[in-house]
C-alpha cells in the first residue's frame, strides 16, 4: 500500500510512502485524488503538465498537490496516474494522466486545498514518507 487516510477532527489527511522522492510525490497525488473522487476507472486519455517551484521539499509538495486540486476541481479531470519527470531542489515537473470527469467518477469529498497544518516530509532508511492534511 502506498498511502493511508488519516482521520482529523476538522479535516482529513493522508500518509504516503515512496522508495524515491518522485515516487512519494506520485503516491501522495493519488492519495489526494482518491480522497476527492472515485478514480478507479479513470483512463489516461489526456496528459496535463504540472510544473511547480518551491523553496524546499515541503513547499514543492504543497504546491504540487494544490495543482492536483486545481486539475480535479478547476478543470474537472479524473486523474488515474501521475508521473514526475524532472525535479531539483526548487522545482518539480511532471504530468497527470486522466480524462474529463463524468458520472463514472463521483465525488467522495470536496477538497478546498492542501494545508501546512502538521505537514511532514521525511527521508529514512526505508525511503520517503509524508503526512499531509487537506482543507475540506
Residue 5 lies in a domain: no
Identify which has the larger pLDDT, 136 or 133.
133
Q: Does some domain include residue 71?
A: yes
pLDDT one-digit tens code per residue, 56-102: 999 999 999 999 999 999 999 999 999 999 999 999 999 999 999 99
CB 106 within 8 A of CB 38: yes
What CATH number is associated with residue 98? Answer: 3.55.10.10
Report field, pTM of the whole predicted structure over 0.95: no
Is the separation of the CB atoms in 114 and 69 below 8 Å? yes
Asked whether residue 130 is domain-assigned, the answer is yes
Answer whether 82's CB lies under 8 Å from 128's CB: no
Residues 6+ apart with CB under 8 A from 102: 78
- Residue 38, judged by CB atoms within 10 A of its CB (0-12, 13-18, 19+), counts as middle
Q: Which of 104, 94, 36 is nearest to 70 (CA)?
A: 36
CA–CA gap between residue 132 and residue 114 (Å, rounded): 7
10-45 per-position pLDDT tens digit: 678 999 999 999 999 999 999 999 999 999 999 999
Residues 93-129 have pLDDT tens digits of 999 999 999 999 999 999 999 999 899 999 999 899 9
Whether 93 is in a domain gets the answer: yes
6 lies in some domain: no
Q: Domain range holding 80?
A: 13-135
H/E run at residue 115: none
Q: If we measure between CA atoms, which residue out of 27, 67, 30 comes closest to residue 49?
A: 67
In a domain, 1, yes or no: no
Structural domain count, the chain: 1
24, 68, 105 from 92: Cα distances, Å:
12, 13, 27
Is residue 21, in this structure, part of any structural domain at all? yes
**Inside any domain, residue 8:** no
Amino acid at each position: 500500500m502506498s498511502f493511508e487516510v488519516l482521520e482529523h477532527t476538522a479535516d482529513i489527511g493522508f500518509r504516503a510512502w515512496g522508495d524515491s522522492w518522485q515516487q512519494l510525490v506520485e503516491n501522495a497525488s493519488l492519495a489526494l485524488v482518491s480522497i476527492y473522487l472515485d478514480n478507479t476507472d479513470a483512463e489516461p486519455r489526456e496528459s496535463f503538465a504540472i510544473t511547480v517551484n518551491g523553496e524546499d521539499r515541503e513547499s514543492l509538495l504543497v504546491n504540487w498537490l494544490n495543482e492536483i486540486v486545481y486539475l480535479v476541481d478547476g478543470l474537472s479531470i479524473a486523474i488515474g496516474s501521475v508521473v514526475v519527470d524532472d525535479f531539483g531542489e526548487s522545482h518539480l515537473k511532471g504530468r497527470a494522466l486522466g480524462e474529463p470527469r463524468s458520472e463514472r467518477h463521483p465525488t467522495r469529498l470536496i477538497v478546498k486545498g492542501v494545508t501546512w497544518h502538521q505537514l511532514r516530509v521525511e527521508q529514512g532508511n526505508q525511503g520517503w514518507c509524508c503526512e499531509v492534511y487537506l482543507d475540506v
